[in-house]
Structure 1
């Protein structure tokens, strides 16, 4: 064997060893980077939780669960009750989901089942761009455009159409106001639709094509296929998407605080001004007394717990739909 042939024989072997070493180093580096990222996320969440709970410890020990059930917020006399703020958060958030859920499902169904293929991506991109609009811009739009429209047109129309109904009519009775719970619900609807519709659209794409084709082959219309196959199959995923959207709505402060009115109250009229928990924290924490800051931190703890609960429920529902999909594929 000549020297040239021996070198040619050894070169691929040496190159393969070098590539093997580089691959192992790269795998190790990737593992360490991802491990540090995961640990960093846990540390950040743990540190944030510890700091907020530590700040709220004084209010927790002084007020206990009465903080949630009472509505007397008087920093001068050291009395703190957050029921009115939690009421504003609950009504605006759940009301927004009542508006956003059917709208998001309709958008997702249109993009996955009805829209021409060439238009699906542009429309989906436009919807998702709503999620990138800064909260302060949406709030400014709410003040300049939405609030006058609500007072002059929407609220009188709702009062005329629904005000006569015995129970529901109480929600739309009373004086009209440019700011209040209903404008806050509309702003939160705009903010949650991109999240819920995007997640719902991904859920709809997991429906087995064979099941949809079978429904159509049996003579069903497209609507019957959606009603009997797509929606039942996707129900847990839709609920998970809604829960994640609820977590987003509960924690919103800037946009909501600009249109909700900033007047803490508990009442059945959606047109009257109110205040949310996140909005109260943003408005009063800076410059507040230590007792006030501790009470506001207690509010933050409640919001954090609610967000963790909503996220946990969403994860359980996603896991349930994944297990069901795996079980059907194995069958």
Structure 2
């Protein structure tokens, strides 16, 4: 070997590191394989219905598979609206809760609050559904009525058949709505988003926190200039994770909504629908072809969730926590 040739370096890896790398790589491959198998299974079962419906499967509002007239336009819009309402309500609530736990809560009760939030994430969805049906719905309809009366000139808050000038008008037009279902789902996804945000905020560099305070910053100024920039990636990731669960929530939404198979853009009005609730509602009575149509609806929801998660990963990759703090 000549004196000008580079020296070869050999890295001796610890057996524990080699084992950990193999386990982590194997776990990732297994997850991708299972996800691919789920997609392939849904695609295979949905092919019969998709070959009959074609592109109209995405534009048709009615759901009558056995008569050849079926599509997910109405339920897809309902799914997106319920998820958006849930995220709009849950993200500010989760952000405030996470900041309070990490920045303001006394140390003596901090662990209790963390455990309480984690416990809320473990509550079954059927419990949230029962709470929404028996308690929330009766108490939220006056608020729905006020929003409709005040902001009814905005199309999304309008309610067909409601008379805001009549105090004795029936409130049933405000029940089983997208708004109520969205609130229930918001309370379901808030603990998950809170936990992720709290973990990220707690990792903000202590030196930068103390430096901001030493330069005369207020507590909120320190949070705004250090904690929030550092936790941007976690905030986006937690929000997208909550959105993914909101899109696929079934039982709680199924217990609240009154299914309709027309596009319902009025979130305060009676009647809503979602893809997951459609599958739960019609699966037991579906024929072979109807089951194929339901699988096609499930495939659409599966693909939509994947797109959202991949988009969230791209956003998080461009806004890594701490890069601007």
Range class of TM-score, shorter chain: 0.7 to 0.9
Q: Which residue pairs with 2:98 in the alignment?
A: 108
Q: Which residue pairs with 1:250 in the alignment?
A: 247
Q: How many residues align?
A: 302
Cα distance in 1 for residues equivalent to 2:305 and 2:154: 34
In the alignment, does 2:128 pair up with 1:138? yes
Q: What CA deviation, in whole Å up to 9, does each residue of 1:57-85 have, x standing for no partner?
A: 12222223321122122234211111110
Q: What CA deviation, in whole Å up to 9, does each residue of 1:16-56 have, x standing for no partner?
A: xxxxxxx96x8888777666655543333222221111011
In the alignment, does 2:145 pair up with 1:148? no
Alpha-carbon spacing, 1:173–1:159, altered in 2? closer, same or farther (3 Å): farther
Q: Which residue pairs with 2:221 in the alignment?
A: 224
Do 1:184 and 1:259's aligned partners in 2 also have CA atoms closer than 8 Å? Answer: yes
**Is 94-103 or 237-246 further displaced after alignment?**
237-246
Do 1:181 and 1:260's aligned partners in 2 also have CA atoms closer than 8 Å? Answer: yes
In the alignment, does 2:162 pair up with 1:158? no
Give runs of aligned pairs for residues 280-319 of structure 1, distance below 5 A: 280-319=278-317
Cα distance in 2 for residues equivalent to 1:168 and 1:202: 36
Alpha-carbon spacing, 1:123–1:51, altered in 2? closer, same or farther (3 Å): same
Alpha-carbon spacing, 1:33–1:228, altered in 2? closer, same or farther (3 Å): closer
Query: SS of the residue aligned with 1:64?
Result: helix
Alpha-carbon spacing, 1:205–1:45, altered in 2? closer, same or farther (3 Å): same
In the alignment, does 2:39 pair up with 1:53? no
Give runs of aligned pairs for residues 1-331 of structure 1, distance below 5 A: 37-151=27-141, 153-160=142-149, 162-163=150-151, 166=154, 169-170=157-158, 174=162, 176-270=173-267, 271-322=269-320, 325=322
Alpha-carbon spacing, 1:105–1:32, altered in 2? closer, same or farther (3 Å): closer
Cα distance in 2 for residues equivalent to 1:265 and 1:249: 21
Q: What CA deviation, in whole Å up to 9, does each residue of 1:203-228 have, x standing for no partner?
A: 21232222222222221211122222
Q: Residue 307 of structure 1: CA displacement?
A: 1.6
Cα distance in 2 for residues equivalent to 1:289 and 1:181: 29
Cα distance in 1 for residues equivalent to 2:68 and 2:274: 20
Cα distance in 1 for residues equivalent to 2:198 and 2:44: 40
Structure number with larger C-alpha Rg: 1
**Is 312-321 or 135-144 further displaced after alignment?**
312-321
Do 1:52 and 1:300's aligned partners in 2 also have CA atoms closer than 8 Å? Answer: yes
**CA-based RMSD:** 2.6
Q: Which residue pairs with 2:165 in the alignment?
A: none
Q: Which has the higher contact order (CA 8 A, sep 6+)?
A: 2
Q: What CA deviation, in whole Å up to 9, does each residue of 1:212-256 have, x standing for no partner?
A: 222222212111222222223322321121111100110111111
**Is 92-101 or 138-147 further displaced after alignment?**
138-147
Structure 2 unaligned segments of length 5 or more: list them. 1-13, 163-170
Cα distance in 2 for residues equivalent to 1:170 and 1:139: 25
Structure 1 unaligned segments of length 5 or more: list them. 1-22
TM-score, reference length from structure 1: 0.82
Q: Which residue pairs with 1:19 in the alignment?
A: none
Alpha-carbon spacing, 1:149–1:221, altered in 2? closer, same or farther (3 Å): same
More helix by share: 1
Cα distance in 2 for residues equivalent to 1:187 and 1:279: 14
Alpha-carbon spacing, 1:223–1:304, altered in 2? closer, same or farther (3 Å): same
TM-score, reference length from structure 2: 0.83
Cα distance in 2 for residues equivalent to 1:66 and 1:232: 44
